[in-house]
C-alpha cells in the first residue's frame, strides 16, 4: 500500500504515502525499491521479461568473442562495431513500425538502396543539390514508396508479405535503373561526397563529445526526475524514485563508457583518430524521435491499437487504413536513413548492395530487440539492442575469420531463437 508505483483504484489517497516517501529515511525508500524489484521479477515470471534476456545474451556473446579474439573489445573494433550496428539499428527501427501493425516490409532493403542512390545522385553532378536537399529528396522518394505499398495493403486489404515481396523485386529493378541514370556511375558505383561522406569520416572532437554527452545525460536526468516527482506528488502511477535514479545512473554510465570508447585512439599510433563519427548521434536522434512519437502522440498510440485489434481501433473511431499506410511511410523513411548511413560508411553506393540480406537483418534486429511478429508489442528503441546483437554476431564472427557460409548460419540461428522466444512469451501470456 505504501508504494507510489501502483496507486490502486480503491486507494486514491496514495498521495499520502507519497509524503511518506518524500520525508522518510532511505531504508523505507529501499523497501519501495525492493517492491519494484519484486514486481519486476513477477513480470519476468509472467513472460514480460522485457529487454533483460537480450542484454544478458549480448554480454555473453561479447565475452565469448573477447575470449576467442582479444581484439574484439579494442576501441578501434568497438567503434567499427557501432557504425555497423547503426545500419542494422535503423533497419530494425524501420521494420518495427510495420511489425507493430502486424505487417511486414520485405522491400525495406532495396528501398533503402533506391533512397541512397537518389540522395547521392542529387548531390553529385549534374544536379548538384546541397547535401540537405539531396537527403530530403531521397527521403521523399522513400515516403512515396511507403505510401504506395501501404495504400495497396490498407485500402485493398492485400497481404503485406506479397505486396512488399513485389516491392522487393520491383525496387531491385528500380535500383539498377537509377544507378544507370548517372553516366559517371561506372559499373553501377557512385561515390558519396561532401557532407554525406563526412557523416562517417568526420569525427566530433573528444571535448565536444564529452560536452554533448554530459548535456544529454543532464537533460534526461532532469526530465526523468521532474516527471517522477510530479507524477508521484499527484498520486499517479510513477516508478519509485530509487528506480528513476538507477535509470539515470545507468544512462550516465553508458554515456561515459561510449564517450571513452569513441575518444580513444581508433587509428594508429602514427595517425591518431579520435572522436565519434557524426552518424552515431544522428542515428540516436532518429531512434529517440521515433520512440517518442510512438509513445507520446495519438498517432503512435493508434498504431499500437491497430496492431493489436484493428476492429477495436475502428470502433474507437480510428482511421485504420490511414494508420497502416502511415506505418509503411514511416518505415520507408527510416529505411531511407539506413541507406544514407550505409552510403556514408561505404563512401559510395553500388548495385552490389545486398538488400535481401539487409531486410532479413532488419527483421532480426527488430525481433531480437523484443518486437513481436504478431503486432502491437515492442518499442522502436529496442532496435538499438537488436541492431547491436546482429552487428556483434557479424563483427565477432568476421574477426574469427569464419566463412561467410557459417556467418549466415549463425545469424539465422540467432534470428530463429529470437522468434521462438517471441512465440513462447506470447503463448505464456495468453494461457495465464
Partner 1 sequence: MTDTHSLLSLRGVYKRFGPVQALRDVTLDIPAGKVTALIGDNGAGKSSLIKTVSGLWPQDDGQILWEGREVHLSSPRDSEHLGITTIYQDLALCDNLDIVQNMFLGHEPVRHGILDEVAMERSAAQTLKELSVKTVKSIRQPVASLSGGQRQSVAVAKAVMSNAQLVIMDEPTAALGVAQTRMVLDLITTLAGRGVAVMVVSHNMVDVFEVADRIAVMYLGNCVTQGPASEFTRQSAVEWMTTGTITKAVAS
Binding residues for partner 1, per CB under 8 A? 6-10, 12, 230-231, 234, 236-237, 296-298, 301, 304-305, 307-309, 311-313, 315-318, 376-377, 429-430, 432
Q: How many CA atoms lie within 13 A of 20 on its CB side?
A: 17
Q: Least separation, in Å, of the C-beta of 296 and partner 1?
A: 5
Q: Specify the residue, 254 or 312, whose C-beta has the smaller distance to partner 1.
A: 312
Q: Least separation, in Å, of the C-beta of 5 and partner 1?
A: 8
Cα→Cα distances 80→226, 260, 267, 348, Å? 37, 15, 11, 17
Cell of 225: 526526475
Q: Least separation, in Å, of the C-beta of 231 and partner 1?
A: 7
Q: Least separation, in Å, of the C-beta of 7 and partner 1?
A: 7
Quick one: which of 320, 311, 268, 345 has its CA closest to 86? Answer: 345
Cell of 266: 581508433
Strand partners, 204: 276
Cell of 348: 559510395
196-199 contacts: CB < 8 A, separation 24 or more?
196/119, 196/120, 196/123, 196/131, 196/134, 196/135, 196/340, 196/343, 196/344, 197/344, 197/347, 198/278, 198/344, 199/277, 199/278, 199/279, 199/282, 199/340, 199/341, 199/344
Q: Least separation, in Å, of the C-beta of 37 and partner 1?
A: 17
Indicate the SS3 state at residue 351.
coil
Q: Specify the residue, 60 or 226, whose C-beta has the smaller distance to partner 1.
A: 226
Q: Least separation, in Å, of the C-beta of 375 and partner 1?
A: 8
Q: Least separation, in Å, of the C-beta of 6 and partner 1?
A: 4
Distance between CA 59 and CA 80 in Å, rounded? Answer: 18
Answer yes or no: are the C-beta atoms of 106 and 361 closer than 8 Å.
no
Give counts: helices (H), strands (E), the chain.
17, 4
The CA angle 35-36-37, to the nearest 5 degrees, is 90
Q: Specify the residue, 107 or 372, whose C-beta has the smaller distance to partner 1.
A: 372
Q: Specify the residue, 10 or 27, whose C-beta has the smaller distance to partner 1.
A: 10
Cα→Cα distances 314→168, 305, 307, 319, 373, Å? 30, 9, 12, 7, 21
Quick one: which of 117, 106, 127 has its CA closest to 340? Answer: 117
Q: Specify the residue, 257 or 285, whose C-beta has the smaller distance to partner 1.
A: 285
Q: Specify the residue, 7 or 137, whose C-beta has the smaller distance to partner 1.
A: 7
Q: Specify the residue, 42 or 412, whose C-beta has the smaller distance to partner 1.
A: 42
Q: Specify the residue, 174 or 380, whose C-beta has the smaller distance to partner 1.
A: 380
Q: Specify the residue, 13 or 352, whose C-beta has the smaller distance to partner 1.
A: 13
Cα→Cα distances 125→105, 182, 190, 196, 342, Å? 33, 9, 11, 14, 21
Amino acid at each position: 500500500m505504501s508504494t507510489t508505483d501502483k496507486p490502486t483504484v480503491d486507494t486514491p489517497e496514495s498521495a499520502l504515502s507519497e509524503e511518506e516517501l518524500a520525508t522518510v529515511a532511505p531504508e523505507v525508500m529501499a523497501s519501495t525499491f525492493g517492491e519494484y524489484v519484486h514486481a519486476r521479477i513477477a513480470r519476468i515470471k509472467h513472460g514480460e521479461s522485457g529487454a533483460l534476456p537480450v542484454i544478458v545474451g549480448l554480454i555473453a556473446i561479447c565475452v565469448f568473442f573477447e575470449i576467442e579474439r582479444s581484439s574484439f573489445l579494442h576501441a578501434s573494433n568497438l567503434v567499427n562495431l557501432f557504425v555497423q550496428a547503426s545500419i542494422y539499428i535503423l533497419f530494425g527501427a524501420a521494420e518495427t513500425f510495420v511489425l507493430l501493425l502486424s505487417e511486414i516490409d520485405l522491400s525495406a532493403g532495396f528501398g533503402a538502396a533506391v533512397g541512397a542512390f537518389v540522395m547521392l545522385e542529387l548531390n553529385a553532378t549534374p544536379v548538384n543539390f546541397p547535401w540537405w536537399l539531396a537527403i530530403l529528396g531521397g527521403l521523399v522518394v522513400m515516403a512515396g514508396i511507403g505510401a504506395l505499398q501501404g495504400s495497396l495493403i490498407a485500402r485493398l486489404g492485400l497481404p503485406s508479405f506479397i505486396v512488399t515481396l513485389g516491392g522487393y523485386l520491383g525496387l531491385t529493378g528500380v535500383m539498377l535503373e537509377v544507378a544507370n541514370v548517372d553516366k559517371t556511375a561506372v559499373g553501377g558505383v557512385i561515390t558519396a561526397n561532401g557532407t554525406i561522406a563526412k557523416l562517417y569520416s568526420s569525427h566530433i572532437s573528444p571535448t565536444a563529445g564529452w560536452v554533448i554527452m554530459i548535456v544529454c545525460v543532464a537533460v534526461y536526468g532532469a526530465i526523468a526526475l521532474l516527471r517522477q516527482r510530479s507524477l508521484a506528488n499527484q498520486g499517479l502511477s510513477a516508478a519509485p524514485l530509487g528506480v528513476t535514479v538507477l535509470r539515470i545512473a545507468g544512462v550516465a554510465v553508458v554515456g561515459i563508457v561510449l564517450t571513452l570508447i569513441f575518444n580513444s585512439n581508433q587509428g594508429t599510433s602514427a595517425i591518431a583518430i579520435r572522436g565519434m563519427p557524426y552518424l552515431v548521434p544522428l542515428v540516436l536522434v532518429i531512434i529517440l524521435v521515433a520512440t517518442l512519437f510512438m509513445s507520446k502522440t495519438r498517432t503512435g498510440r493508434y498504431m499500437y491499437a491497430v496492431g493489436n485489434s484493428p476492429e477495436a481501433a475502428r470502433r474507437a473511431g480510428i482511421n485504420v487504413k490511414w494508420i497502416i499506410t502511415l506505418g509503411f511511410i514511416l518505415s520507408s523513411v527510416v529505411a531511407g536513413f539506413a541507406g544514407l548511413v550505409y552510403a556514408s560508411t561505404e563512401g559510395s553506393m553500388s548495385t552490389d548492395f545486398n538488400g535481401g540480406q539487409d531486410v532479413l537483418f532488419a527483421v532480426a534486429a527488430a525481433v531480437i530487440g523484443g518486437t513481436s511478429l504478431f503486432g502491437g508489442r515492442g518499442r522502436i528503441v529496442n532496435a538499438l539492442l537488436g541492431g547491436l546483437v546482429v552487428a556483434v554476431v557479424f563483427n565477432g564472427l568476421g574477426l574469427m575469420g569464419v566463412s561467410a557460409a557459417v556467418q549466415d548460419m549463425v545469424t539465422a540461428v540467432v534470428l530463429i531463437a529470437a522468434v521462438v522466444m517471441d512465440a513462447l512469451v506470447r503463448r505464456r501470456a495468453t494461457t495465464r
